[in-house]
Amino acid sequence: MKILFLYPNHEGYFRCPVGLTLIMTIVANEGHEVKLFDTTFMASDKSVNNTQMEKANVVKPVPLDHFFNKVSKNQIENNWLKLIKEFSPDIIGTTILEDSYQYCDRLLGLAKSKFKIPTVAGGSMPTIVPQVIIENPNIDYVVEGEGEVAFRDLLNALEKGTSLDKVPNLWRKDNGKVVKNPLVQYLDMDEIPDQIIEFWDEKHFRKPYDGKLYNTGFFETSRGCMHKCHYCINRAFQVFQADAGLARRNKSINRVIQEVTAAHKKMNFGLIQFTDDNFLARQPREMDEFFVRWGNEVKIPYWMNTCVETVNEHNLPQLKKSGCVGIGIGMETGSDWIRRNLLLKGKMDNDFYMEKFGLIAKHGIRYTSNSMIGTPGEHEEDFFETVKLNKAIKALNPDVASFDITYMAPYMGTVIHNIAYELGLMEVYKKPGFKGMCTKNISMRVEPVMENPCMSKERIMELFYDFADYVHGRKKIPEKFLKKDSSRKFADDTISKVIYEAYKKYINGPVDPATIKQKDLSDFSYSKTA
């Protein structure tokens, strides 16, 4: 069979999506013919605006304009239709993130209207809300969860003309009815094949870091996260895919070393970026094995994200020695109350973050503290607690410290989405294929897409753009925010209590928005311009 894959990347991120690469790899290994339509470098303008990150010293300026072909949106669509006509695929596959879903739907709709080719969608959004995506008239099949086995079995069944009843993780339309097949257990990660990275334009591997462009390889050593944060889709996987088994799984260290080494022989990487949500969440003996073997056998600098509790005096010297050049840590906020009660980030407080960042700073590894603004229930006072904590973390070692901030995003399937939906803090679609989804295209850097009754959208955006200036001291923190109000008297109002009570309802995780009764916040003197 001939399969055309669509990567609807409209924000210019260079990284190669590991999940889509693996699906294409498995399909190709089965003997099917594969082509990729990648929109990353077709943008009419520079899609990624690094201004804020450059101000914050997260990234250093690197010219990137020459990577983009600068064609119009109409030309992109024409190229898409031209490829379909020339290649004549038997099926079109795509991966869907909520950020790119509307763009993806546009391209799939064009294909449907002109060629009537079956389409299948997988990825994080179809996994979390398959019951929503399957209603999209431009999508015929949805793969819920891991697609490596499901996509393979779907293609084989379609090719042979056999029943689709035994294709795992599959949602489909059958005579106007939606049919859902059972979930299978999550994969043993050592059974996942090496990526065929040659599917991608070499520009995808030219990632800027610390003022230079590196030939960068993207690899996963684990999947999932054990934490239950209200803003994260990993919690949705835990709740909605409980039948699939333990969400958090690791590749063996031997398998990681083998995969990276094989790819490095082809690509000559100058940097490795691990895509794991929580890289260091292994048994210490496993990490010890990784550090020794990476330092002796691979010897490529690497960057990763991890949770703050995983760094310690034992692994930090080994991280440094083995070639770790950067650690990203999600701190989210400097308000202990918001972190504990609204975001559900366990018992981690500011003192704990200072202790852990202090250890990283002592060992001289570059670190980035990642924060968010716009959480429903966040007040301006809370924002300046975030500023003060980042200032303190920067001061630990200014030579290696950096920080970043994004807008809180109400992704489908998260508790934050449930809260925003219940309290009417965002406009949502009601049309098939989009029900419950925010009508504004989610972006964590362009603008907030949901209201926060405790701060106006205009003020949130102003503070977002001034964040780096406050942390670097180019702007002074207002006098009234220099002291912390531990009693949170500033938050003692009716609307704050309503929001907090809403959060407490979702202590056990997110629910299907269709089951939520929406409130009318006008009863609580709520004003979107307050």
Specify the pLDDT at position 49. Answer: 53
- Mean pLDDT value of segment 489-510: 89
Lowest mean pLDDT among 47-51, 73-77, 180-184, 368-372: 47-51
Phi, psi of 30, deg, nearest 5: -80, -5
Q: How far apart are CA 84 and CA 94, in angstroms?
A: 14
Q: How far apart are CA 145 and CA 97, in angstroms?
A: 13
Specify the pLDDT at position 51. Answer: 63
Structure tokens at 257: 């070393």
What is the average pLDDT value for the chain, to the nearest integer? Answer: 91
Query: Does 474 fall in a domain?
Result: no
State the pLDDT confidence band at 6, using cuts at 50, 70 and 90: very high
Model confidence pLDDT, tens digit, residues 381-413? 999 999 999 999 999 999 999 999 999 999 999
Helix (H) or strand (E) holding 311: none
Helix (H) or strand (E) holding 399: none
Q: How far apart are CA 387 and CA 392, in angstroms?
A: 9
Specify the pLDDT at position 529. Answer: 38
Residue 320 has pLDDT above 60, yes or no: yes
Residue where the block lists tokens 């200032």? 391
DSSP for 323-353, written as a single string: TEEEEEEEEE-S-HHIIIIIS--TT--HHHH
Helix (H) or strand (E) holding 120: strand 119-122
Cβ atoms of 411 and 450 within 8 Å: the answer is no
Specify the pLDDT at position 86. Answer: 98
Q: How far apart are CA 50 and CA 72, in angstroms?
A: 22
Residue 479 has pLDDT above 50, yes or no: yes
- Residue 511: exposed, middle, or buried by beta-carbon count in 10 A (0-12, 13-18, 19+)? middle
Query: Does 100 fall in a domain?
Result: yes
Cβ atoms of 108 and 6 within 8 Å: the answer is yes
Sign of CA dihedral 3, 8, 14, 19: negative
Q: How far apart are CA 385 and CA 270, in angstroms?
A: 38
Contacts of 451 (CB under 8 A, 6+ apart): 376, 425, 426, 457, 528
Model confidence pLDDT, tens digit, residues 269-301? 999 999 999 999 999 999 999 999 999 999 999
Lowest mean pLDDT among 203-207, 336-340, 446-450: 203-207
Residue 376 has pLDDT above 50, yes or no: yes
Which amino acid would we find at residue 48?
A: V
Lowest mean pLDDT among 149-153, 345-349, 472-476, 498-502: 345-349
Give the domain range for residue 64: 2-180
State the pLDDT confidence band at 157, using cuts at 50, 70 and 90: very high
- Mean pLDDT value of segment 421-426: 94
Cβ atoms of 452 and 378 within 8 Å: the answer is yes
Helix (H) or strand (E) holding 299: none
Model confidence pLDDT, tens digit, residues 108-144? 999 999 998 999 999 999 999 999 999 999 999 999 9
Q: What is the CATH number of the domain that holds 73?
A: 3.40.50.280
Model confidence pLDDT, tens digit, residues 34-81? 999 999 888 644 444 556 666 665 656 666 666 777 778 899 999 999
Query: Does 103 fall in a domain?
Result: yes
Helix (H) or strand (E) holding 188: none
pTM of the model: 0.92
Distances (CA, A) of 364 to 61, 304, 332, 399: 22, 15, 23, 8
Specify the pLDDT at position 43. Answer: 64
Cβ atoms of 137 and 112 within 8 Å: the answer is yes
Specify the pLDDT at position 59. Answer: 58
Residue 484 has pLDDT above 80, yes or no: yes
State the pLDDT confidence band at 526, using cuts at 50, 70 and 90: very low
- Taking each helix axis as running N to C, give the angle between helix 253-267 and helix 284-293, from 0 to 180 degrees, rounded to the nearest 10: 30
Query: Does 438 fall in a domain?
Result: no
Structure tokens at 435: 């029900």
Could you give the percent of the chain with pLDDT greater than 70?
93
Query: Does 297 fall in a domain?
Result: no
Query: Does 48 fall in a domain?
Result: yes
Specify the pLDDT at position 47. Answer: 44
Model confidence pLDDT, tens digit, residues 188-243? 999 999 999 999 988 888 887 777 889 999 999 999 898 999 999 999 999 998 88
Distances (CA, A) of 291 to 80, 301, 313, 315, 459: 44, 12, 14, 9, 45
Which amino acid would we find at residue 368?
A: T
Residue 248 has pLDDT above 80, yes or no: yes
- Mean pLDDT value of segment 454-480: 95
Query: Does 95 fall in a domain?
Result: yes
- Residue 402: exposed, middle, or buried by beta-carbon count in 10 A (0-12, 13-18, 19+)? buried
Residue where the block lists tokens 């048994």? 283
Cβ atoms of 195 and 272 within 8 Å: the answer is no
Contacts of 358 (CB under 8 A, 6+ apart): 396
State the pLDDT confidence band at 504, using cuts at 50, 70 and 90: very high
Model confidence pLDDT, tens digit, residues 8-41? 987 666 678 899 999 999 999 999 999 999 998 8
State the pLDDT confidence band at 244, using cuts at 50, 70 and 90: confident
Specify the pLDDT at position 252. Answer: 97
Specify the pLDDT at position 65. Answer: 67
Contacts of 5 (CB under 8 A, 6+ apart): 20, 23, 24, 34, 35, 36, 37, 92, 93, 94
Contacts of 64 (CB under 8 A, 6+ apart): 46, 48, 208
Report the domain count for the chain.
1
- Taking each helix axis as running N to C, give the angle between helix 380-396 and helix 350-362, from 0 to 180 degrees, rounded to the nearest 10: 20
Query: Does 174 fall in a domain?
Result: yes
Specify the pLDDT at position 317. Answer: 97
